[in-house]
Chains A and B, each alone.
Chain A
Amino acid sequence: DTAVSQTPKYLVTQMGNDKSIKCEQNLGHDTMYWYKQDSKKFLKIMFSYNNKELIINETVPNRFSPKSPDKAHLNLHINSLELGDSAVYFCASSQGDRRGNTIYFGEGSWLTVV
């Protein structure tokens, strides 16, 4: 049973297109995240949601719009894709009580913009 699952795993698309990445967790966690890993393997948080409410937004271009229909799902929609958006996007979740609980990651979605 996959704890944090995200789809698609691989995505190749052209500049200017709009794409979405979906994420679901079955751990019963209250908090979900999107992290971006660039070509140099650097991981940085983009967003976090707690019980469907946005709590972290790390100066991400507004072309990126997260949506959380319920606390088990956090989707990422990207408009007008640019070459620099190519990266691996990780969805993650945690208990969310702000006590340094372990963050569980999905397998990543590898986005390539051409």
Chain B
Amino acid sequence: AQTVTQSQPEMSVQEAETVTLSCTYDTSESDYYLFWYKQPPSRQMILVIRQEAYKQQNATENRFSVNFQKAAKSFSLKISDSQLGDAAMYFCAHTNFGNEKLTFGTGTRLTIIP
């Protein structure tokens, strides 16, 4: 069974600084997909970034980028130039190719300090 582990229940960062959220996962498959979702206080689940395991290049979306280490099964999210609107719960998630089931980590609550 797939598992996703987020070892940081809470993180905080000064506004305009950079923060990295950790995620590790476990799968026996070689082809899979990884995601970071953001959940602000409104509870809406918003996709932040998506990574295909067969791609060696790390995905980036504006201020958000990932460090994907396939051998280590690690998928961390880096947020640059943190903004107050980045404050939210961040969930790492995984799904295997050929499967529609998304497995989530337990989340990291990110606080932005003005």
Binding site for B on A (CB under 8 A): 31, 33, 35, 40-45, 48, 50, 55-56, 58, 88, 90, 92, 94, 96, 98-100, 102-105, 107-108, 110
Contact = CB atoms under 8 A, between A and B. Distances in A.
Given A100-B32, A100-B33, A102-B50, A48 B43 contact: no
11 contacts: A43-B91, A45-B102, A48-B100, A48-B101, A58-B101, A88-B43, A90-B45, A98-B98, A98-B99, A100-B32, A100-B52
Given A94-B100, A107-B44, A108-B45, 6 more contacts: A42-B104, A48-B100, A58-B101, A92-B45, A98-B97, A108-B43
Given A42-B106, A100-B52, A31 B42 contact: no
Which of A40, A42, A50, A96: most chain B CB closer than 10 A? A42
Contacts of A45: 101-103
Interface in B25-64: 32-33, 35, 37, 39, 42-47, 50, 52
Contacts of B106: 40-42
Interface of B: 32-33, 35, 37, 39, 42-47, 50, 52, 89, 91, 95, 97-104, 106-107
Contacts of A42: 104, 106-107
Closest 10 CB pairs of A and B: A100-B33, A105-B45, A43-B104, A108-B43, A98-B98, A41-B107, A107-B44, A102-B47, A48-B100, A45-B101
Contacts of B102: 35, 45, 103
Given A43-B104, A107-B42, A102 B98 contact: no
Nearest to A108: B43
